[in-house]
Structure 1
Amino acid sequence: MLSIDSVLAEDMETGASARLRIETLSTIVSAEDASGARGIPIHHYSKEEWSVAQKRFEALRPVIEHPIRSRSEVEKLATAAGVHVATYYKWLAAYHDAGHVAALVPRKRGAAKGQKHLAADQELVISSVVEDMYLKKQRHSPKEVVDEVLLRCKRAKITAPAPSTIRRRLKELSPAMTLRRRGFKDKARDVYEPIRGSFPGADFPLAVVQIDHTPLDVIVLDEVHRKPIGRPWLTLAIDVYSRMIVGLYVTLDKPSATSVAMCISHAMTPKSEYLGALGVEGNWPVWGQIGTLHADNAREFKCKAVTRGCQANQIDMQWRPVKKPHYGAHIERYMGVVATELKKVPGTTFSNIQQRKGYDSEKEAVCTMKEVEAYLVEFIVNNYHQRSHSQLQDASPARVWQQGIVGTSERPGIGAMPIVGDPERIRMDFLPYFEITIQRSGVRLENVFYYDPVLDPYIGATMPDDPNAKRKFIFARDPRDVSQIYFLDPQADRYTPIPYRDLSHPPVSASELREVTKALRAENKGEVDEHRIFSSIQRNRDRINASTESTKAARRQAASRPKAKQAPAQVPGRVPAAAQSPASERAAEPALSIFDQELEVFEVGELN
C-alpha cells in the first residue's frame, strides 16, 4: 500500500511496477471459489490440504448442481470418488452447512483445542458445585470448590477429576459474570463494561457502523418550477471507530427499508462516481464490508427486508440497548453537526419556532434537493472529515481512518478493504421482498402482472421435496418505482429485472399504486383489475399536473414520482407497448420528427 487509496502493483508477466488506485482493482476467482468472500481463512491450509478439498468438491459437484438424485446414483458417485456412500453424504452435509470449499479440508485426527475429556457425570458434578458454591456472594475459595467436588464424586461413586482440571474449569468462567455473581457488580462494570462515550467492538474501520434518519432543517425546491416542496429526509451511516461518514441517502419520502438499503449500499461501495455526479471535488476513500450495523429500535430497522439484507451480506444487526442512550451518541451528535451546518443555507428552518421567528423559510429557499445534497457532501468530504475531533485525541476522522487501514508504528492496520463486486446486489438484498409462485401469465403482485422470458423455466414449479406444493420464488421491489420487480434466479443466484407484462403502463410508486387500489375498492366494493388501476393513476396525474405550479403538495408528489425509463428492447413473443394502448391514445400523441423516431430492426431474412 502506498496510501489509503492506492497500491504499488507488479505486472506478473513483465515485472514492471505501477501505482494503481484500489477502487479500480478487482479480484479474479474461480467459479467454485466465488463464495469465498465469506471470510473463511483458506490461506491457513497447506497446498496438500486445499488440493484434497478441491478433489472432494469436484466429486460433489454433480449432486450440488443437480440435487434431486436417487441413492443409487449417489452410490455410483461415491464409488467413483473411492469412498463409502456415508462418507460422501458427510462431505455433502459439511459443504452445505458451511457453504464453502474449506469445509471439505480433511480434519486432523486427535482432540481439538478446547475439547473436554471428562465424562458427562464428572462435568455435571463440577458445574453443580460451581453453581452452588463458587458463584455465590459467600465467595468460597477454589480449594473449597475442589474439596466439595471430590466429596460429591465419592458419594456418587464416580471417578473424581483431577484438582487441576477443576481449577481449570474455574478459570474458564467469564470474569465479568464471575465478579457480578460473587457480589462485585461495581468492579465488573468498571473493568469490563464500556465507559460512556466508547463503544464495544469498534476497534477498527467499519467494525461498527451506526445508522439513523433525520429530517433536514431546510426547505428545498422542485427541479421544474423551483418552488418550495418541503423538507427532505437524510439517512446517514457513521463509522464509530473513526467518526468517518461512510454513507448517506437523501429523499423526500419518510424513512423506510428502502432508505436503509440505499444508505448501506452507498456505505459499502466506492464513491468516486457519486462525487463526480454531484460535482464535488475531494476524496472519500470509504468502502468495504460492514461488521456490525447499529441502529435504534425504529420499525424500519427491524423489518424483514433489513434483517434479510444483513443476513445475506454477513452484517451483524444490533439495536440500541434499553436505557443506554450513549450507545447512539455518535450518530446523534453528528446529526446535530448537520443541523448546525444547514443553518447557513437559505431556506433553513432552524431548530425551533423561536429561532425561526421573523424568517420565512419557504420564501428564502433557493436550493433543490440535489443542490442541498451536494452542499452536504461537500461539507462532509472537505470539512468534517478533515478537522480535528476532540474524542479522537484531536485527530481528524480522515487521519484516524487512514491509520486504521494503513497502520502506525504502534499498531498495524487492517489493510485495504476489498471492493464489493456487485453493488446492485447489496441494494437488492435490502429491498422489500415477496415470495410468489410463477404462473403462465407471469407474476401477479398487488393486482399488477409482470413477465419476462427468464421466468419460463419456473412456470408451475413445485417444491423439490413435495411435488404437490407450488414453489414460491423471491422477488424484490423498489417501492419508489414498481414498473419492474427483481427476480432472484435460484440457478444463477442473481437478480433479474422483470418489467410490467403490459409495457404501456407508466412507472408508479408503491404508495401511489396502493392509494389508487384502495380508492377503487372502496368505490366499487369488489376486486379491481390492472387496467382500471392505471387508468385511475393517469387521471390523478393529470389533475396533479394541472395544479403543480400552484400547490406545494402537488409539486412534492410530482417530485417523488418515478421518472419514465427508456423503452426496453422488444422481447420475442411480447406484444409491443404501442399495440397494447388504445388507438385513440396513440392518435393523440404528437407526431415525431424523423430524427426523433426509433429505428426499426429487421432480421436478415425480412430484407430478401
Structure 2
Amino acid sequence: MTASNFFEISPGMEVMVGQRRYRITHSLDLHSVLAEDVETSQSTRLRVETMSRVIEAEAPDGSPNYSVHHYSEKDWAVAQRRFEAIKPLINNPYRTKRDVAAAGLRIGVKTSTLYKWIAIYLDHQHVASLVPRKPGPNKGGRYLSAEQELVISSAIEDEYLTKQRRSPAAVVLEVLKRCRVAKIDPPHENTIRNRIADLRPASALRRRGQKDKARDSFEPIMGAFPGADFPMAVVQIDHTPLDVIVVDEVHRKPIGRPYLTLAIDVFSRAVVGLYVTLDAPSATSVAMCISHGMNTKSDYLRELGVEGDWPVWGQIGTLHADNAREFKCKAVNRGCQANHIDMQWRPVKKPHYGGHIERYMGTVATEMRNIPGATFSNTQQRKGYDSEKESALTLREVEQYLVRFIVNIYHQRAHSQLNDSSPMRVWEEAILGGAKPGIGRMLPSNPDRIRMDFLPYFSSTVQRYGVRIDHVYYYDPILDSYIGAKDPDNPERARRFLFARDPRNISAIYFLDPVVGNYIPVPYRNVGLPPVSAGELREATRRVRAEGKAAVDEDLIFQSIEANRQLIDESVAKTKAARRQSEKRPKTKPETKAPVQSTKAAVPSRPAPDRNIFSQPAEVFEIGEID
C-alpha cells in the first residue's frame, strides 16, 4: 500500500458517492461537505464517509480544479473581463496579429498577454482558467527533475542514514560527485540540506545507529508528548483484561473476562480504535485495532446499534506500544511498513512513556464497574459481590456499552489535560480549523487493504490444486494464471506469492494479486468444510498427531474438529470452558467475490486433483506470524 490510499478532502476534489460524481465546494463541519453534482450542477450536502474515491484532484496544468464558487468575486470578475476581451478573437478563425494587437490596445494590455490568455483558455475550455494566479512558486513545491531527486535520495540513503553517521556536508559532496558522473545539473547545496532536514528525526536516528537517542526523544516533558502536534501524529496502543464477566449468547451463563485492545490519539485524547475479544492479546488483536483506527466507523456503529458519531480516523504517523511480543511480530511490522507508520516501542522499565493510554485504561476500568458482573480492580473492592452470579451481558453487549460510552460521553466531556476542552472539540478544531488553520480531512481509499495489510501472512507458490496451508487446501480460478509461475528475478526458482489469513476464520485466505494490487479472497477448495479458527485447526492437528495417525491430512483434521465440536456442544451448558470455546467459533464464512454452495456435492464440479501432486515438494510455504 502506498500513501495514495488516503486522499485529502478539500474544495475542488471530485469524488464518487454511489454512481454520482460530485465536486466539493465547501467544508461544512467534521462530518460533511457541500458539493455540486457534476452532471446537474445542483448543490447538496454529502456525508464524508460516503465518499468512495477521488476522480480528479488537479487540472491538467497542475492548478487546482476548483469550482467557480471557490473564487472571490474580484478574481472572478477579472476572469470574466479577460474572457470578454479574447472572445471575439477565439471566434475568429482568421485572426491576424494585427487583430490581436488592436484588441490589446483597446483594453490596455500587451499583444503577448492576449496570446497567453487565448492559449490558456483553449487548453482548458473554461473561464476559470483565466483567474489571475498569485506570483511565485507554490509553498512546499519541489521543482527538481526526477533524476536530481533520485541522486539526492540515494546519497542520503547510502551516506547519511548509516551507522557511519556522515555529516550533511559529506552528503552534499556525494550528491555533487554523482551528478558530475551522471552528467546532470547539480542541485543547490541548500536544497540537499533541506531534503535531509525533511527526514523524520526519530527514524533517522535509528537508521544512524542511535536507537537510545531516538527512544529518549519521546520522553514526556511537562505533560506534553514530543511529536504529538496534530491528530494521529502519535497513537498509543495497549491491551487490558476488562473488569467484567460476560455470558454466552445461548445459555446466558458466565464464560469469563474479555480482553480489550485500544488505541488513543495523544494529541486530542480521542479513542482511535478498539477490539474486544475472548482470546488473549495477539497479533490479530493488534491488527484489528489498528485497521479499525485508520478506517471510518459509521458502518461499525450501525452494525453495533450505537447512536452517535465517531469521526476519528486517518493516517497514523507514529504508533507507540510497549515491548510485548505481539507488537513486534512480523505481521504488525509489515502492516506498519506498508502503511507508512513509524513503530516505536516504550523504553523498558519506563511505564510513564505510556501514560496517556494507561490513564484511559483506568477510565475504562472505572466505567466497567457500572456493568452487572463487574470484577472491580481487586478482591477487596469486590468483597461481598459475586461477579459470576451477577453477570448478565454478552461480549457484544459489553462492546456496545463501551462504544456508547466512548462516543457519547468520553469524547464529549471536558478533559483536564486539554484545558477543560473535550477530546472531540480538540479533534474537530485541529481538523477543520479554529484559532489555527486545520490540517484537513483524509479518507482511506481502500479500507479492506488496510485491514489485510496487518493480518498474519505467508508466502507460497501456486500449484495445480491451488494453495495449501496447515494441511488445508484453497482454490479459486483467480489463481489459474499463476500456476507454475517463475520468479521474474530468478527464472530457475518458482515464484512465491503473498497470502493473508484472518485467524478468527480460516475458511478463506486472501491472495495479494500482483497485477491489480488488491487482496482477493480464496475459499476452501472443498467448499463443504465448516468455518473454523486457526486455534481450532492447530488443536485438531495436535490431536491427530497424538493419536498416532501416519499422515495428517485435511479429512482427518476436520473429522477431529467436528468430533470436538460435538463434545463441546454436549457439555456447553455444564462447563464455563466449553461455553467460552463455543463463543470463539466463526459464525459465518468470509465474503468471496462469487458465492458458492456450501455442500460436499459441489466439490466434484472442480477438476479432481491427482493425489500424487499433493506431495510435490514445490508446495512448500513460509508462515509469517499466523496468530
Normalising to structure 2: TM-score of the pair? Answer: 0.66
Cα distance in 2 for partners of 1:12, 1:239 equals: 37
Q: Secondary structure at the match of 2:444?
A: coil
**Conserved 8 A contact 2:247-2:253:** yes
Instruction: Label 1:203 to 1:543 Cα distance change in 2 as closer, same or farther (>3 A).
Output: same
Other-structure match for 1:295: 321
Matched, 1:393 2:416: no
Other-structure match for 1:544: 568
Other-structure match for 1:92: none
Q: Secondary structure at the match of 1:501?
A: coil
What is the CA deviation profile of residues 504-529 of structure 1, one whole-angstrom value per residue up to 9, with x for unaligned ones? 21111111111111121122164311
Other-structure match for 1:379: 405
Other-structure match for 1:577: 600
CA RMSD of superposed structures (Å): 3.8
Cα distance in 2 for partners of 1:255, 1:202 equals: 26
Matched, 1:329 2:368: no
Q: 1:434 aligns with which of 451, 458, 470?
A: 458
Cα deviation, residue 282, structure 1: 1.4
Amino acid at match of 1:387: R
Cα deviation, residue 28, structure 1: 2.7
Q: Secondary structure at the match of 1:346?
A: coil
Q: 1:213 aligns with which of 218, 224, 239?
A: 239
Q: 2:145 aligns with which of 97, 100, 106?
A: 106
**Conserved 8 A contact 2:507-2:589:** no
Cα distance in 1 for partners of 2:594, 2:153 equals: 62
Q: Secondary structure at the match of 1:375?
A: helix
Instruction: Label 1:455 to 1:401 Cα distance change in 2 as closer, same or farther (>3 A).
Output: same
Q: Secondary structure at the match of 1:504?
A: coil
Instruction: Label 1:578 to 1:192 Cα distance change in 2 as closer, same or farther (>3 A).
Output: closer
Q: 1:250 aligns with which of 271, 276, 287?
A: 276
Cα distance in 2 for partners of 1:490, 1:566 equals: 22
Other-structure match for 1:565: 589
Instruction: Label 1:355 to 1:304 Cα distance change in 2 as closer, same or farther (>3 A).
Output: same
What is the CA deviation profile of residues 346-398 of structure 1, one whole-angstrom value per residue up to 9, with x for unaligned ones? 10000011211221111000111111111111111111111111111111101
Other-structure match for 1:466: 490
Cα distance in 2 for partners of 1:470, 1:13 equals: 50
Other-structure match for 1:523: 547
Instruction: Label 1:476 to 1:289 Cα distance change in 2 as closer, same or farther (>3 A).
Output: same
Q: Secondary structure at the match of 1:524?
A: coil
Instruction: Label 1:551 to 1:576 Cα distance change in 2 as closer, same or farther (>3 A).
Output: closer
Cα deviation, residue 12, structure 1: 4.2
Matched, 1:415 2:440: yes
Matched, 1:201 2:227: yes
Instruction: Label 1:568 to 1:5 Cα distance change in 2 as closer, same or farther (>3 A).
Output: closer
Other-structure match for 2:260: 234
Cα distance in 2 for partners of 1:319, 1:575 equals: 45
Cα deviation, residue 551, structure 1: 0.9
Cα distance in 2 for partners of 1:17, 1:397 equals: 32
Cα distance in 2 for partners of 1:334, 1:392 equals: 14
Cα distance in 1 for partners of 2:330, 2:152 equals: 38
Amino acid at match of 1:106: S
**Conserved 8 A contact 1:343-1:349:** yes
Other-structure match for 2:527: 503
Amino acid at match of 2:388: E
Cα distance in 2 for partners of 1:340, 1:520 equals: 45
Instruction: Label 1:239 to 1:539 Cα distance change in 2 as closer, same or farther (>3 A).
Output: same
Cα distance in 2 for partners of 1:319, 1:566 equals: 33
Cα distance in 2 for partners of 1:108, 1:539 equals: 64
Other-structure match for 2:517: 493
Cα deviation, residue 109, structure 1: 8.2
Instruction: Label 1:513 to 1:17 Cα distance change in 2 as closer, same or farther (>3 A).
Output: same
Instruction: Label 1:337 to 1:529 Cα distance change in 2 as closer, same or farther (>3 A).
Output: same
Cα distance in 2 for partners of 1:566, 1:390 equals: 43
**Conserved 8 A contact 2:220-2:353:** no
What is the CA deviation profile of residues 299-320 of structure 1, one whole-angstrom value per residue up to 9, with x for unaligned ones? 1110010011111111111111
**Conserved 8 A contact 1:244-1:398:** yes
Instruction: Label 1:198 to 1:569 Cα distance change in 2 as closer, same or farther (>3 A).
Output: closer
Q: 1:305 aligns with which of 328, 331, 346?
A: 331
**Conserved 8 A contact 2:272-2:313:** yes
Matched, 1:453 2:492: no
What is the CA deviation profile of residues 8-53 of structure 1, one whole-angstrom value per residue up to 9, with x for unaligned ones? 22344554433222222233347xx9xxxxxxxx999957xxxxxx
**Conserved 8 A contact 1:197-1:326:** no
Amino acid at match of 1:461: A
Q: 2:392 aligns with which of 366, 387, 406?
A: 366
Q: Secondary structure at the match of 1:294?
A: strand
**Conserved 8 A contact 1:196-1:326:** no
Cα distance in 2 for partners of 1:227, 1:12 equals: 56
Cα deviation, residue 257, structure 1: 1.3
Other-structure match for 1:223: 249
* Structure 2 stretches lacking a partner, 5+ long: 1-26, 64-140, 160-165, 170-188, 202-214, 605-627
Cα deviation, residue 231, structure 1: 0.7
Q: Secondary structure at the match of 2:521?
A: strand
Instruction: Label 1:547 to 1:271 Cα distance change in 2 as closer, same or farther (>3 A).
Output: same
Cα distance in 2 for partners of 1:497, 1:290 equals: 26
Q: Secondary structure at the match of 1:515?
A: helix
Amino acid at match of 1:444: R
Cα deviation, residue 256, structure 1: 1.1
Q: Secondary structure at the match of 1:419?
A: strand
Other-structure match for 1:184: none
* Structure 1 stretches lacking a partner, 5+ long: 34-41, 48-101, 121-126, 131-164, 177-188, 582-608
Q: Secondary structure at the match of 1:234?
A: strand
Instruction: Label 1:407 to 1:227 Cα distance change in 2 as closer, same or farther (>3 A).
Output: same
Cα distance in 2 for partners of 1:236, 1:208 equals: 14
Amino acid at match of 1:468: E
Q: 1:276 aligns with which of 277, 285, 302?
A: 302
- Of 5-14 and 204-213, more deviation after overlay is shown by 5-14
Q: Secondary structure at the match of 2:547?
A: helix
**Conserved 8 A contact 2:521-2:591:** no
Instruction: Label 1:43 to 1:201 Cα distance change in 2 as closer, same or farther (>3 A).
Output: farther
Instruction: Label 1:44 to 1:453 Cα distance change in 2 as closer, same or farther (>3 A).
Output: closer
Instruction: Label 1:473 to 1:7 Cα distance change in 2 as closer, same or farther (>3 A).
Output: same
- Of 497-506 and 320-329, more deviation after overlay is shown by 320-329
Other-structure match for 2:124: none
Amino acid at match of 2:546: A
Other-structure match for 2:508: 484
Cα distance in 2 for partners of 1:485, 1:6 equals: 36
* Greater RCO (Cα-Cα under 8 Å, separation 6 or more): 2
Amino acid at match of 1:414: I
Cα distance in 1 for partners of 2:276, 2:517 equals: 30
Amino acid at match of 1:308: R
Cα deviation, residue 190, structure 1: 13
Amino acid at match of 2:562: Q
Cα distance in 2 for partners of 1:290, 1:191 equals: 19
Q: Secondary structure at the match of 1:439?
A: coil
Cα deviation, residue 429, structure 1: 0.6
Cα distance in 2 for partners of 1:343, 1:358 equals: 14
Instruction: Label 1:412 to 1:487 Cα distance change in 2 as closer, same or farther (>3 A).
Output: same
**Conserved 8 A contact 1:484-1:500:** yes
Cα distance in 2 for partners of 1:29, 1:193 equals: 43
Cα deviation, residue 324, structure 1: 3.2
Cα deviation, residue 197, structure 1: 2.4
**Conserved 8 A contact 1:570-1:576:** no
**Conserved 8 A contact 2:35-2:45:** yes
Cα distance in 2 for partners of 1:326, 1:449 equals: 47
